[in-house]
Amino acid sequence: MRPGALDRDQRRFSLDQLLQHGLNAIILGGTYALLGIGLTLIFGIMKVVNFTHGEVYAFGAYVMFALVMPLGVNFFVALVLAMALGILLGAAIELLLLSRLRDADIDTTMLVMIGAWIAMQNTEQLAWTGVAHSIKNPFPPEPLVWGALSVSWNRLFVFAVASLLIAGTYYLVNWTKFGKALRATFQDRDTAALMGVRIDRVNTATFALGSGLAAAAGALLGPVFVVVPTMGDLAASKAFAIVILGGLGSVVGATVGGFILAFAEELGSGYISSGYRDAMGFVLIILILLVRPTGLFALKERIS
């Protein structure tokens, strides 16, 4: 064999490898974007650092587990229910905790949210023990293969649903009357109130929407990975990384941020060490805060 041929094979191999990492990243990025959009909306509109976000994600995964495994509910029905219950949970957190803290200072609100986070995580542990559970999915086990690339049907499904939810959220925020009220509240709360926007309802709806997206991400990824009570912590830290990447309050920024984080994780674990996967988010946060502290998509405006 001539030396050149080996070179070409190796290069071919590494290109395939790169493409495979890229594909994995795109698929993972969709759910990351969901997580990030939920958090960035809540922070943008309500100025609340939502420490329960990761737990609502875990809640989505656990609802999925409880419905599909012991109860035998149809996978797709369970997914819709998990999302709906996530929305309700978000509305409940907002109405029971945050709506009473409207005039509280940021420290108080943060402490309450941290308390809620700990309480929720321990409730999960109490209800489902600390043991990891897996969720059966109804997709064919053999992956879809295309040349040297392969992807499981379940992951493709996750990506499709995540994309739909992102598009739906984008539409809701930019093209509906509710979205207009949301953006107006984000940009100038008092003036939005003067236009007749019910700020308290916008708050509840935003928290419910953001939580629904987090629960959807959990319900989608639960069957891909496993379900454990601490799964929310990592998800929350990733969501924060995405929001910092994309800039606060920006749906597009959070979407792009989700994909950037997924690419960084895939490439970092593929080419540096798989142990670095979950560290990539923090590396990105540090880089962004050093170079462009307002995030990549900080909205330009002129305050005259």
Partner 1 sequence: MLTIENLDCRYGQVIAVSGLSLEIAKGELVTLIGSNGAGKSTTLKAISGLLKPSAGRILFEGVDITGASPREILARGIAHCPEGRRVFPQMSVEENLEMGSFLRRDAAGIAADKARLYERFPILLERRTQAAGTLSGGEQQMLAISRALMSRPKLVLFDEPSLGLAPNIVERTFDIIRQIRSEGTTVALVEQNAYAALELSDRAYVLEQGHMTLSGPARGLLADPHVQSAYLGTSDAIPVN
* Contacts with partner 1, residue ranges (CB under 8 A): 177, 180-181, 183-184, 187-188, 190-198, 299, 301-304
Query: Nearer to partner 1 by C-beta: 108 or 191?
Result: 191
In the bound complex, what is the minimum distance in angstroms from residue 197's beta carbon to partner 1?
6
Tell me whether residue 290 or residue 303 sits nearer to partner 1 (CB atom): 303
Minimal distance, residue 192 CB to partner 1, in Å: 7
Q: Which is nearer to partner 1, 193 or 226 (CB)?
A: 193
Three-class HEC string of 35-77: HHHHHHHHHHHHCCCCCCHHHHHHHHHHHHHHHHCCCCCCHHH
Q: How far apart are CA 205 and CA 166, in angstroms?
A: 17
Give least dist CB 108 to partner 1, A: 17
Q: What gap in Å lies between CA 248 and CA 119, rounded to an integer?
A: 27
Nearer to partner 1, 90 or 249 (CB): 249
Which residue's CB is nearer to partner 1, number 100 or number 201?
201
Q: Which is nearer to partner 1, 210 or 247 (CB)?
A: 247
Q: How far is the CB of 157 from partner 1 (least distance, A)?
A: 35
Least distance to partner 1, CB of residue 193, Å: 5
Least distance between partner 1 and beta carbon 300 (Å): 8
The strand pairing partners of 227, in sequence order, are 133
